[in-house]
Structure 1
Amino acid sequence: MTAPTSTAGPAPAAPPAAGPRALTGRLGPVAIVFMVVAAAAPLTVVGGAAPLGILLGNGVGFPALYALSGVILLLFSVGLAAMTRVVPRPGAFFSFVGYGLGRRPGLAAAYLALLTYTTIQVSVYGYIGFIMSGTLAGLGLPTLPWWAWALAIVAVVGVLGYRHIDLSSKVLGALLVGEVGIVLAIVAGVLITGGNEGLSAAPFAPSAVLSGSPAIGLMFAIAAFIGFEATAIFRDEARDPERTIPRATYAAVIGVAVFYTLASWGLVMAWGPDHVLDVAAADPGGMIVATAAKYLGTAGQVVVQVLLVTSMFACVLSFHNVITRYQHTLSNAGLLPAAVGAVHPRHLSPSASSLVQTTTAVALVVVFAALGLDPVLQVFTWFAGVATLAITILMAVTSLAVIVWFRRTRVDARPWHTLVAPALGLLGLAGAAAAIVANFPLLVGDVDAAGAQRFGVVSGVLLALVVALPAVGWAQATVLRRRRPQTYARITDAIA
């Protein structure tokens, strides 16, 4: 099937033979799942986001929102997996939106994806700098500002990202096992002791799920999944991409949903439905540490404190790998400077893109430090909010692209995979995006003196980023269409 020159997406062609700019590898489903689930930072979510979801969201009913988010994203994944099988490109959202909706929307999606992963990564750099500064100072070591620790972590991540992906996958796998293990140990302690008020299904009662502010709770729940969809980014380095990528995607969504639902339920049971809100309000950031101390003793408390740091490190390393591969793909499509697409001759990694991403992270941390931003209340909270909204919009647009592509090409006639599931996922994601926008000021702390949310300067600037970056991509594609039609035609033809 010949690729058309109109704005409609082209039919996928067989990927060209591997060359000096192509990534290679033999990652299996387990290795890829480790890569993307580590990006979700399980312990950081359970220890940081879950208490905030309980406190600011729907209280006792918050665990059910992880299950709801899992269902929505699993429906989205059905279409994503179907598209992966017929579009042999490593660009994920960038490629899929391009084929389904056209090259200009595709490039706009690429820029929105870069915004998503860059903002979530830099937000965690702020948090990890804050945690390390406080933790190490408490051990009697010299006190350094948060940004100094953040820059040190950027350097370590840069070294690992520069080398072969196998090294990163092994590091992430080891850290992920530790995170999951300590959380399951806490849940086991709750199960064995019966919790603070006995074990129950109270968090899943409709009255609990709909209490408080479920829309805000849904924001925290969806944010916990950011990164799972990046399985398609590792297509070139997968052992058998047509089978490995779909399996890894399903495993990541189901695993994350079950784990977070179980862990947050255990957190509620640990303190009891009648007291969990008070505990979360007293110290949301320290809730997981206090829970570990209560059910695992001092040793468990120390382990949790250490693993919180490694959890955030795993998160930024995983997102570093995702961003570098997006940039590599864009470069090979002629949309970024050619030098960015270079592959290291020995490590077989997107080394040039890794250096660019490391430089970007350093620049952002330095700027935030110079502006005097608070690493948690501003760097972490603001930019995690941007990432949550951006990824929700991106997945909704991708669902639409999947539907349009399969309706037009008919290369896959399965209704559930190509129409029903993607449509249901689209509805769920569109609803979630609308809820996030409506509650965005509260998410980023843009409230008036009386505590009521308002769309002020902070909300306006951050929401503008979600509009501006895709607009830049759309404008670039428009210019290329007029001035460099050959490059424009290659927007969806990145080297695989």
Structure 2
Amino acid sequence: MTTTSTPAVAADAAAGDGAPERAGTGKLRGSLGVASIVFIVVAAASPLGVIGGPVPLGIAFGNGAGFPATFIVVTAVLLLFAVGFTAATPYVRSAGAFYAYVDKGIGRSAGLGTAFSALLSYLVLEAGVFGLFGPGLDSLLQSYGVPAVPWFAYAAVGFVIVSVLSYFNIELSGRVLAVLLIGEVIIVLALDAAVVFSGGGPEGFSTGFANPAEIVSGAPGFAILFAVLSFIGFEATAVFRDEAKDPDKTIPRATYIALIAIGVFYAISSWALISANGESTIVENASENYGTLLADTTEQYLGVVGGHIIQVLFVTSLFACILSFHNISTRYFYSLARRGVLAAPLGIAHTKHGSPSRASLVTAVIIGALVAAAAILQLDPIGQFYTWLGGISSVGFVLLLILTTVAVIGIFRKEQHEVSLWRRLIAPILALVGLLGAFAIILWNLPALVNETSYGPIEFAILALLVVAFVVGPIVGFFRTKVELD
């Protein structure tokens, strides 16, 4: 087979990962610190969206008052994943996140399959969240007397703003995400504080999180499902390696801080929400009003103004989530192009902004096409468009974590590094056990996740798309180039 190296790849190969940037290589520029990366990845997790969405669902259809403990368990598993993930960071010099690790630890074909699977997972999730954003903004504006409009009209407005912001340097998006994230976190913490200082709800403070009987009550597997999905996006810290200051230190610190912050925030806030409504009635209340549980509780403890604020911030939280995933998807396109797998122009950064502007435009075209298709096919924005695409992302997310964990073990088996046994083997194995369990739970509950009663065409299509993406990766790489990813 005849292969060629693109100019961008050749320049990279000549300069090396740690070499000074050559003129004209069009590499990304940025000076993201720990805080900026944390803002981007935590915004992708959409903390307010989680407290207003998956948390009421996890309480209603999972393990009720024991749900906060589920977040603690999932956080522990993901921290075990982070131990190996961050230990391998100094030895994985590429900014490709999952696929760079899998390429180095398992092999090039698996790495490319992982890259295409990750790209699919992030793209469909970004598109799917527009199915929440459009109706959410419409509902918000209707509450202020604005006439109702089709959901995709507001989705189009958000799409244009995201596309413009992502075209410029990542630091602009980082500043926007910081403002939005701070706002949504403050309102939830204000609710938490109001519940605590008022002595809890009608039954005082909930103790279900510490009661083994409550933790395993109901459907704990379903609770784990929603808890795992609430963390999607945290692993993207490594995607911003090329734009980070001192990435060998910044990436691990950002990963740990993001994980711990998200886990603690979810556990405390879900506990406060349960306490505010009463432990004995929370399941019934959440089941009947899961879409408005957070807003109703906020209005009860923070007044009408607080209720309005949280409605606004819920919409901005969705926007922040979309913007974060747009930036992540864009950098996957850029990184693959830099290595000759995708068209070379996608791997050229903007000469002025130092951003992956061309890759961002391609991402925008794909997202725009998906949203337009949903509008033309008249799909229900939440019950179909969001849930179907969210199902793809959910299965893909955990599968990618599993592959990356196996890859980390492989990296340290192939090469001798001065890394402790705990970091290179024990913690990754424990994480692998937990992730495999979570993956089995997600597959078992996939029909419920996509609003179906049993396995059917939608569920099989989700699994088939991920398999196809994984297979297409190495095929494209075979015909495009043999340049190594790392």
* Per-residue deviation, residues 389-430 of structure 1 (Å, max 9, x unmatched): 111010011000000110111123411111111111111111
Structure 1 Cα separation of the partners of residues 259 and 53 of structure 2: 20
1:154 matched to 2:159: yes
Alignment of structure 1 residues 352-431 onto 2, 5 Å: 352-431=358-437
Alignment of structure 1 residues 20-419 onto 2, 5 Å: 20-196=25-201, 197-419=203-425
CA contact (8 A) 1:216 1:443 kept: no
Query: Could you tell me which residue of structure 1 aligns to residue 3 of structure 2?
Result: none
Structure 2 Cα separation of the partners of residues 188 and 117 of structure 1: 34
1:127, CA displacement in angstroms? Answer: 0.2
* Per-residue deviation, residues 337-363 of structure 1 (Å, max 9, x unmatched): 111112111111000011111111110
1:457 corresponds to which letter in structure 2?
P
Structure 1 Cα separation of the partners of residues 221 and 329 of structure 2: 29
1:442, CA displacement in angstroms? Answer: 1.5
SS at match of 2:455: coil
CA contact (8 A) 1:219 1:388 kept: no
1:16, CA displacement in angstroms? Answer: 4.3
* Per-residue deviation, residues 5-24 of structure 1 (Å, max 9, x unmatched): xxxxxxxx744432432112
1:329 corresponds to which letter in structure 2?
S
Structure 1 Cα separation of the partners of residues 123 and 215 of structure 2: 32
Structure 1 Cα separation of the partners of residues 75 and 343 of structure 2: 38
Q: Give percent identity, aligned residues only.
A: 44
Query: Could you tell me which residue of structure 1 aligns to residue 11 of structure 2?
Result: none
SS at match of 1:488: coil
Query: Could you tell me which residue of structure 1 aligns to residue 9 of structure 2?
Result: none
2:300 corresponds to which letter in structure 1?
K
1:456 matched to 2:461: no
Structure 2: gaps of 5 or more residues: 1-15
1:104, CA displacement in angstroms? Answer: 0.2
Structure 1 Cα separation of the partners of residues 109 and 88 of structure 2: 19
1:293 corresponds to which letter in structure 2?
E
* Per-residue deviation, residues 444-479 of structure 1 (Å, max 9, x unmatched): 1221xxxxxx211111112212222111113334x3
CA contact (8 A) 2:124 2:393 kept: yes
After TM superposition, the score normalised by the length of structure 2 is 0.94
Structure 1 Cα separation of the partners of residues 440 and 466 of structure 2: 14
* Per-residue deviation, residues 67-126 of structure 1 (Å, max 9, x unmatched): 111001100011111111111110111100000000000000001111111122112111
After TM superposition, the score normalised by the length of structure 1 is 0.92
1:129 corresponds to which letter in structure 2?
G
CA contact (8 A) 2:17 2:94 kept: no
CA contact (8 A) 1:406 1:412 kept: no
Q: Comparing 412-421 with 89-98, which one deviates more in the overlay? A: 412-421
Q: Comparing 253-262 with 49-58, which one deviates more in the overlay? A: 49-58
Structure 2 Cα separation of the partners of residues 444 and 423 of structure 1: 30
| Alignment coverage as a number of residue pairs | 468
Structure 1 Cα separation of the partners of residues 435 and 254 of structure 2: 21
Structure 1: gaps of 5 or more residues: 1-12, 448-453
Structure 2 Cα separation of the partners of residues 413 and 290 of structure 1: 50
Q: Comparing 128-137 with 324-333, which one deviates more in the overlay? A: 128-137
2:66 corresponds to which letter in structure 1?
G
Structure 1 Cα separation of the partners of residues 140 and 90 of structure 2: 46
Q: Could you list the runs of 4 or more consecutive aligned residues of structure 1 that deviate by over 3 angstroms after TM superposition?
A: 13-17
Structure 2 Cα separation of the partners of residues 373 and 56 of structure 1: 25
CA contact (8 A) 1:189 1:295 kept: yes
